[in-house]
Amino acid sequence: MKDWMTSFFWDNTEIIVFLHVISAVVWVGGMIGMRFAAHHSFAHVENPAFRLERIAHALKRLFVIVSPFIMILIFTAILMAVGWGFRAAAVDANGNVISEVAMQMYNLVHVKEVIWMVMAMNFGAMVWFRNKAQKALNTNDVLSAKKSLEPIGKYMVPLNIVLGVIAIYMGVMLRYSH
């Protein structure tokens, strides 16, 4: 499987890297747009129930848009990590470090993978909170809907934005380590 992944990666490097980068841009950029543009626009909607309905709808649209990009991002990350041979450059067959610099890059790959996985889990929690808010809105429970949506805008989206920007920067570092 590793040989196939490496071969597939080198046969399709440009498209794989492009898909990875565009996926990160859509996911992180979508959250930035939602948090810093749409969020402030929703604040001016007077009717609380209507405001929450608009927020829930916008989040649903965002989540539908970014979901396939999240899957593409994870798939291409695996292809790139294996294809670029970070492990092979860092350790021998017995697991002995053969290059400290390569080992640092290999560790950076893992840190970046953890960041994207934390972001994906956070995304899953956001979807859950949004769906919970939608159920509350369907029964006209505005207070419960607000409680469900509030952590998304206050904490979860900002956390993913910060982690996403860090991961993108780390990706640039890794790309230019070769």
DSSP character at residue 156: I
Spatial contact of 148 and 132, defined as CB atoms under 8 Å apart? yes
Spatial contact of 42 and 51, defined as CB atoms under 8 Å apart? yes
Spatial contact of 108 and 167, defined as CB atoms under 8 Å apart? no
DSSP character at residue 97: B
Spatial contact of 70 and 23, defined as CB atoms under 8 Å apart? yes
How many residues in total does the chain contain?
A: 178
Q: Which residues pair with 18 in a beta bridge?
A: none
CA–CA separation, 72 and 50 (whole Å): 34
Whole-model pTM: value is: 0.91
CA–CA separation, 157 and 76 (whole Å): 23
CA–CA separation, 105 and 126 (whole Å): 31
Backbone angles phi, psi at 99, to 5 degrees: -155, 120
Nearest to 160 by CA among 151, 148, 149: 151
Q: Would you give per-residue pLDDT tens digits along the chain (178 residues)? A: 888 999 999 999 999 999 999 999 999 999 999 999 998 899 889 999 999 999 999 999 999 999 999 999 999 999 998 998 888 889 999 999 999 999 999 999 999 999 999 999 999 999 999 999 999 999 999 999 999 999 999 999 999 999 999 999 999 988 887 6
